Amino acid sequence: MNLLGWAMLLVSWTAILLLVAVCVRKILIVDRDNIHAPLDIDTDPHSDPK
Amino acid sequence: MAERGREHWGSRIGIILAVAGSAIGLGNFLRFPAVACRNGGGAFMIPYFISFLLLGIPLCWMEWSMGRYGGRYSHGSLPGILDAVVRKPWAKYLGVLGLFVPAVIFLYYTYIESWCLAFSVFSLAGTYRNVAEPLAMKTFLQGFQGLTDGSSLGPAYGFFLITFAVNMMVVYRGLTRGIEFLCKIAIPVLLVGGVLLVIRIWTMDSPVPDMPDRTLNQALGFMWNPDFGALRNPTVWIEAAGQIFFTLSVGLGAIMTYASYLREQDDVVLSSTTACGMNEMVEVVIGGSLVIPAAYLFFGLEQTRAMAQSSFDLGFVTMPCIFNGIPWGDVFGFYWFFLLFLAGITSSISLMQPLVSFLEDEFGWTRHRAVTVIGIFAFVCSHACIFGLSMGVLDEFDFWGATLAIVICAMIEVLVFIRYMGVARGWEELHRGGDIRLPGWLKGVFYVTPVYLGAILLYWAIFSWVPWIAKPMGWDISVSWVDGIRVQAGSVNGVILLVRTFLLAFLVGLLWMIRVAWKRKLPARQGTGGAA
């Protein structure tokens, strides 16, 4: 394979793997942020957070 | 907003894998490398990626957005979704192709899928171990398909029964317990199996001792060395657009149906982009690294060039011959065909879902009843493909369902999205509950997509359909290059006419069902102001 062939392969693979990696990373971060501890959910409405 | 207890996906990863599974099919492993090879090698990736960005991703965004929108009004199939978006009485009839296309493809796809299962079992059992030459393997395949004199269809029919039963069972079990459960297992297995096969093929340097020049470097060069001159040929651009279009399973109605099971505030934009990316990963990274490099290493430049003319033979003739020539070939042959089977089944179950959803949502049937009725219908009709293979029945189904109607269906979806949902509203719908927000200038891509798709349709019309009409009239316009399209001039016989009559009757039957469904719901719709 010549240099241009390697370049096409590497650019194609990098673009696709980067797209998948960025998306999966974002999904994992968002899903992690959406996990709440019981205390976050069941906070006593009468208690003053300050 | 009428929520009538529709099913929902169990998890976000569930729908991503289900949509990716729907898109990942045999074409990812067989069609893509052959098309890339024939159209400029590495240079093909330039129009391919442009098509992915301008056609593939926007179409997926549109389908996901409209699908989730329709789901809010308890519509999971294209007639209902178009009715909800357009709100005109005629709109639902346009959606008939969203039922017709997946159903027609399902009728023959399960049969092809069963060949993959059969060959994976044959690999382990060593049934074709002694067949070393491509010509002999082709004869073996044709014998299995019942196409040679004295051959029996028994084994092929047996595997079809198993494959069909598995498909029915998965869809019958429902969205989360059936489709989502299968995809959560099948897609990771497919990814791991694909990577293992790539490693195996990339590590078998010069397998033919008297041909030391057949190295991996040269094999990859055959696939990836760019011929930039090819980019001046419009065919290459249309081939790239066609490959993107077919690989992402857009225009089928399946993605819309899957998206209709999302909740109102579930993310669409990130999930759809991830599913597209996963499909591309399997196609370019895994699919592009398997058959062509392996064929080159074993058979050299000239034979591989000839083999690349037929995507199907690459998978079912070339690859078994290769596995017969390497250590542990039985196991890798099993891997290969089972991987194709997994790619197939995750697609075929998605093809059945639009019809199931139509009967559930518009007729109020239970899933079990809908699957049973569709299953019986599909089982009976599939026999035409099994026993009429030599008479071109399968090709007819493929031409009308998977090549022609699919592009028209996608065009309808795009035009409805642009005209009736509107780009601004569609953009907001896309981002409703979204985990990411795309830059606003990207909205412009929604205007480019219909032009791009229209250009493909026009090009096909000129170069594929015109000869089809013209040849019987004695006009000599013989340009037929679109892979998979069968120019059928001169081959119309009684069986083909019968198949076309059946397809037309099926289409009319579906239109009648849409009419009946809406008539039955008329009183309720008049109460809510929906289009009747």
ipTM of the complex in this document: 0.85
**B7, B175 in Cβ contact below 8 A?**
yes
Provide the CA B468 distance to its chain's centre, in angstroms.
24
Question: Which pLDDT value is given to residue A40?
Answer: 59
B30 vs A40, higher pLDDT: B30
CA atoms within 13 A on the CB side of B327: 3
Q: Which of B267, B270, B284 shows the shortest C-beta gap to A12? A: B284
B329: amino acid identity, one letter: G
B231 exposure class (CB count in 10 Å sphere: 0-12, 13-18, 19+): middle
A18 touching B, CB under 8 A?
no
How many C-beta neighbours within 10 Å does residue B419 have? Answer: 12
Judged by a CB distance cut-off of 8 A, whether residue B480 touches chain A is no
Q: Compute the mean pLDDT over every residue in chain A, rounded to the nearest whole number.
A: 79
d(CA B311, CA B29) in angstroms, rounded, equals 9
Question: Which two tokens mark B476?
Answer: 């000599």
By the 10 Å C-beta count (0-12 exposed, 13-18 middle, 19+ buried), B343 is classed as: buried
Nearest CA in chain A to B221: A1
Q: Does B20 touch chain A (CB under 8 A)?
A: no
Residue B511 exposed, middle or buried by CB count within 10 Å (0-12, 13-18, 19+): middle
**How many inter-chain contacts (A to B, CB under 8 Å) are there?**
71
Percent of chain A at pLDDT > 90 equals: 42
Instruction: Please give the Cα distance from B79 to B413 (Å, whole number).
Output: 11
Burial letters B11-35, b for 16+ CB under 10 A, else e: ebbbbbbbbbbbbbbbbbbbbbbbb
- A19 to chain B: nearest residue by CA? B277
Asked whether the beta carbons of residue B284 and residue A13 sit closer than 8 angstroms, the reply is: yes
Model confidence over B456-503: pLDDT tens digits? Answer: 778 777 766 665 555 555 544 433 334 444 444 445 678 888 999 999
For residue A16, what pLDDT is reported? 95
Task: Examine the pLDDT at B39 and tell me if it is beyond 90.
Answer: no
* Nearest-5° Cα angle at B349, B90 to B426: 45
Q: How far apart are CA B241 and CA B311, in angstroms?
A: 17
The answer to whether A8 contacts B43, with C-beta atoms less than 8 Å apart, is yes
Tokens of B337: 């065909």
Structure tokens at B374: 């569709």
Task: Please report which residue ranges of B203-233 form alpha helices under DSSP H.
Answer: 216-224
**Chain A residues whose beta carbon lies within 8 Å of the beta carbon of residue B285:** 13, 16-17
CA of A36, closest CA in chain B: separation in Å?
A: 17
pLDDT confidence of residue B406 = 86
Q: Are B290 and B302 in contact (CB under 8 A)?
A: no
pLDDT in tens, B363-407: 999 999 999 999 999 999 999 999 998 888 888 888 888 777 888
| pLDDT, tens digit (0-9, with 9 covering 90-100), for B50-59 | 999 999 999 9
The verdict on a CB contact (< 8 Å) between A1 and B274 is no
**Whole-number Å distance between alpha carbons of B341 and B190:** 9
Highest-pLDDT range among B151-155, B281-285, B296-300, B459-463: B281-285
Q: Looking at CA atoms only, how far is residue B356 from chain A in angstroms? A: 30
Beta carbons of A6 and B278 less than 8 Å apart:
no
Determine what percent of chain B falls in helix, strand and coil, rounding each to the nearest 5.
75, 0, 25
Q: Are A49 and B307 in contact (CB under 8 A)?
A: no
Burial state string for B278-303 with b = 16 or more CB within 10 A and e = fewer than 16 = bbbbbbbbbbbbbbbbbbbbbbbeee
A34 to chain B: closest CA residue: B435
Give the single-character DSSP code of B310: -
Chain B residues 194-213 within an 8 A CB cutoff of chain A = none
Partner-chain residue, chosen from A9, A19, A26, that has the shortest CB–CB distance to B224: A9
Chain B nearest C-alpha distance from A32 (Å)? 12
Two tokens at B146? Answer: 């019942």
Q: Is residue A20 within 8 angstroms of chain B, CB to CB?
A: yes
DSSP letter assigned to residue B20: H
- For residue B519, how many C-alpha atoms fall within 13 Å in the half-sphere facing its CB? 6
Q: Is A43 on the interface with B (CB under 8 A)?
A: no
Determine whether B199 is exposed, middle or buried from the number of CB atoms within 10 Å of its CB (0-12, 13-18, 19+): exposed
